[in-house]
């Protein structure tokens, strides 16, 4: 099996002062990449900030003979993101890989959640993914090369109590990925999502210690390396944790044509509910156009059988 290498590649990993991001950055460096360690150094709720964590990871990379620089910008701040991109280009002259990993939590039940709670989480998770990727997009297009990983969550894909804000942001990055995989294809820009289960600051206290012991952040990273390698897939959601990996997909049933005009009533839809929700014929569409095509295929079938 050929070794996965990133020699001469330049990677930005946001939120890489600790946890998952640190492991991603260290592994990229071990495999030859020049790495930008971006970390605001704030608390888990996004408050505060210092550069100590990012500088420590840079020191680790340099100690192993690698190249890295630290950047303390907030991914939610336009000027900070511009500085992150400028620092990278000044130091290394290109941007090949972005792993958007930075995150915060503001967990509350929906009844107690405030507008500030959702705005802060969306600023970091959704806008904080959009801004660095958008800032580097034209650089990647001109290079005809780019690899991007967004970080989603089981909360976004499936839901968890007390995390409506976090789930909205985490499913939002999947929606972004689904469009960017289409727009980036002609310029060899591939974008994927990782859905990690790992013991980090954000999961402490949520699981028993024996389970946390198996959920080391470094057990997610090998999967992420496969999402940013030369022959990476695109548009994939890779679930990863404890050394196990799986693929998540948004799927849709084949469905049924119910009727049009006066024949189309709520009761008519109810009469065909079992056919509409039949999961034996599910498809993972590659674009919104394919989704629309499925609907019109049912209409055409009905017309042919009329």
Tens digit of pLDDT for each residue in 133-185? 999 999 999 999 999 999 999 999 999 999 999 999 999 999 999 999 999 99
CA distances from 2 to 5, 72, 230, 231 (A): 9, 35, 12, 12
Catalytic residue among 145, 158, 166, 219: 166
Following CA atoms 149, 218, 124, 208 in sequence, which dihedral angle do they give, to the nearest 10 degrees? 130
Shared domain for 97 and 198, answered yes or no, is yes
Shared domain for 220 and 71, answered yes or no, is yes
Decide if 166 is catalytic.
yes
Domain boundary among 205, 231, 248: 248
Predicted local distance difference test score (pLDDT) of residue 13: 98
Q: Is residue 85 part of a domain?
A: yes
Using DSSP's 3-state secondary structure scheme, residue 191 falls into strand
Q: Is residue 270 part of a domain?
A: yes
Shared domain for 234 and 269, answered yes or no, is no
Shared domain for 259 and 209, answered yes or no, is no
Q: Is residue 4 part of a domain?
A: no
Using left for φ > 0, alpha for ψ between -120 and 50, and beta otherwise, residue 93 falls in left
Shared domain for 78 and 153, answered yes or no, is yes
Domain boundary among 205, 233, 248: 248
Predicted local distance difference test score (pLDDT) of residue 93: 98
Evaluate whether 233 touches 225 at the Cβ level (below 8 Å): no
Shared domain for 219 and 266, answered yes or no, is no
Whether the CA torsion 3, 129, 10, 135 is positive or negative: it is positive
Which residues does the chain have with pLDDT short of 70? 42-50, 200-207
Shared domain for 30 and 161, answered yes or no, is yes
Predicted local distance difference test score (pLDDT) of residue 306: 75
Shared domain for 153 and 25, answered yes or no, is yes
Predicted local distance difference test score (pLDDT) of residue 212: 80
Helix axes 19-30, 221-228, angle to 10 degrees: 60
Predicted local distance difference test score (pLDDT) of residue 199: 76
Q: Is residue 129 part of a domain?
A: yes
Split into its structural domains, the chain has a count of: 2
Q: First and final CA of the chain: distance in angstroms?
A: 56
Shared domain for 192 and 259, answered yes or no, is no
Separation CA 19–CA 202 (nearest Å) = 9
Antiparallel, parallel or unpaired: β 189-196 and 237-241:
parallel
Q: Is residue 3 part of a domain?
A: no
Q: Is residue 5 part of a domain?
A: no
Residue 85: phi and psi, rounded to 5, are -65, -45
Domain boundary among 228, 248, 268: 248
For residue 145, what is the domain's CATH number? Answer: 3.40.50.720
Shared domain for 55 and 102, answered yes or no, is yes
Predicted local distance difference test score (pLDDT) of residue 204: 61
Domain of residue 281: give its range: 252-305
Q: Is residue 269 part of a domain?
A: yes
Shared domain for 139 and 274, answered yes or no, is no
pTM for the whole structure: 0.93
Predicted local distance difference test score (pLDDT) of residue 46: 47
Shared domain for 169 and 265, answered yes or no, is no
Q: Is residue 66 part of a domain?
A: yes
Predicted local distance difference test score (pLDDT) of residue 41: 76
């Amino acid at each position: 099996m050929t070794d996965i290498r990133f020699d001469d590649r330049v990677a930005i990993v946001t939120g890489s002062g600790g946890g998952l991001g640190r492991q991603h950055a260290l592994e990229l460096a071990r495999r030859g990449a020049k790495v930008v360690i971006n970390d605001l150094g704030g608390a888990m709720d996004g408050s505060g900030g210092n550069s100590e964590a990012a500088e420590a990871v840079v020191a680790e990379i340099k100690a192993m003979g690698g190249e890295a620089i630290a950047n303390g910008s907030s991914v939610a701040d336009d000027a900070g993101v511009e500085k992150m991109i400028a620092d990278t280009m000044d130091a290394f002259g290109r941007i090949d890989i972005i792993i958007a990993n930075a995150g915060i939590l503001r967990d509350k039940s929906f009844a107690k959640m405030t507008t500030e709670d959702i705005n802060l989480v969306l600023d970091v998770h959704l806008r904080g993914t959009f801004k660095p990727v958008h800032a580097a997009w034209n650089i990647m297009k001109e290079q005809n090369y780019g690899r991007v990983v967004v970080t989603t969550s089981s909360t976004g894909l499936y839901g968890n109590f007390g995390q409506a804000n976090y789930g909205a942001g985490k499913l939002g990055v999947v929606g972004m990925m689904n469009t960017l995989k289409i727009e980036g294809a002609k310029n060899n820009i591939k974008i994927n999502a990782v859905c990690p289960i790992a013991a980090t600051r954000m999961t402490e206290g949520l699981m028993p210690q024996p389970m946390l012991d198996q959920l080391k952040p470094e057990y997610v990273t090998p999967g992420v390396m496969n999402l940013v390698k030369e022959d990476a897939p695109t548009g994939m959601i890779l679930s990863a944790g404890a050394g196990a990996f799986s693929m998540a997909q948004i799927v849709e049933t084949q469905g049924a044509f119910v009727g049009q005009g006066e024949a189309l009533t709520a009761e008519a839809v109810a009469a065909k509910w079992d056919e509409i929700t039949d999961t034996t014929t599910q498809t993972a569409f590659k674009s919104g156009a394919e989704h629309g095509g499925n609907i019109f295929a049912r209409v055409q079938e009905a017309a042919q059988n009329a």
